[in-house]
Amino acid sequence: MPDVLYINGRFTTTDERVLGVEDRGFLFGDAVYEVFKFLRKTPIFLAGHWRRLERGLRAIEIPLPWDESSFASTMRDLLERTACDDGIVYIEVSRGEAARTHFYSDDMKPTAIAYSRRYTFPDAAKKARGIRMITQRDVRWRHCDVKSVNLLPNAMAKKAAQRAGVDEALLVDDGLVREGASSNLFAVLDGRVVTHPLDEHILPGVTRDHAIALARGRGIPVDERVIAVNELHSASEIFVTATTLGVMPVVQIDGRACGGGTRGPLTTDLQRALDDAESREVAGG
């Protein structure tokens, strides 16, 4: 069944081919994207996803196709037209379409698309079982704080993980942990939750922000600092966060068990707290 598709102010379905061959998102990766989760046709943490999209577009000087109010209205309209109750919405805004040249006009009209897709989120068994990772060298560009569509290094790292029979790749730069190929990483070290600070090396994750707030709300100290790879061996728990994963325990990295190879109590508590926060979003409509 085709998904609902929004393109530049109108709705259609993903059966319709809508992008021109000279759209700069296609030719240059000159675009920013966003993904949010919806449950019972209710967007989850939509304001946080808007803020990240807005920051990314401003950072690479693409005009905003919406303000926050029209963005929220458009996304809710899209979800009303969606056949499934639970899933994800993918959004992409490119600089627009023009004759192929590296230089671009300052008055280009952006291309804005969004479409819904059914998605099966991790169940209780998966949340308890956790994931395994391998380390991969981080060869991404130095503006990882912008959620651009330039994801070739991430895709190659993910493929390496798949070939190794694991779930995710942990990107490492000169012995320093950055983040997962599509997730943010946290380690519990001496009773403190530690994660990479917000800078050009990592994406500012919406679920990351909620995990930090939930931990601090429980009186758990959180340090935002760089983690050395060898510190992971002494972590009592490791977990990642992402829109499609929530809070997910990491039980193995490069074949070595993390935190005894099982989900830890702090990770379990944060999983439940995030589930509760999402339930409140749904209840609030």
Tens-place pLDDT, residues 72-123: 999 999 999 999 999 999 999 999 999 999 999 999 999 999 999 999 999 9
Average pLDDT over residues 245-261: 96
CATH class label, 4-118: alpha beta
Domain ranges of the chain: 4-118, 124-284
Q: How many CB atoms lie within 10 A of CB 51?
A: 14
Above 90 in pLDDT, residue 150? yes
pLDDT of res. 225: 98
Residue type, 31: A
Q: What is the CA radius of gyration of the chain?
A: 19
pLDDT for 285 equals: 75
pLDDT tens for 24-38 read: 999 999 999 999 999
Above 90 in pLDDT, residue 2? no
pLDDT at 69 over 70: yes
Report which residue type is found at 53. Answer: L
What are the distances in angstroms from CA 252 to CA 108, 138, 237? 47, 19, 11
Give me the CATH topology for the region 124-284: D-amino Acid Aminotransferase; Chain A, domain 2 (3.20.10)
Confidence of residue 265 (pLDDT cuts 50, 70, 90): very high
Asked whether the beta carbons of 79 and 38 are under 8 A apart, the reply is yes
- Contact partners, residue 201, CB within 8 Å, separation at least 6: 138, 142, 144, 145, 173, 178, 179
Amino acid at 234: S
Query: Do the domains 124-284 and 4-118 match in fold?
Result: no
pLDDT, tens digit, 9 for 90 and up, residues 155-202: 999 999 999 999 999 999 999 999 999 999 999 999 999 999 999 999
Residue pointed to by tokens 């068990």: 257
Indicate which residues carry an active-site annotation: 147
**pLDDT tier at 1 (50, 70, 90 boundaries)?**
low
Mean of pLDDT values over 55-67: 97
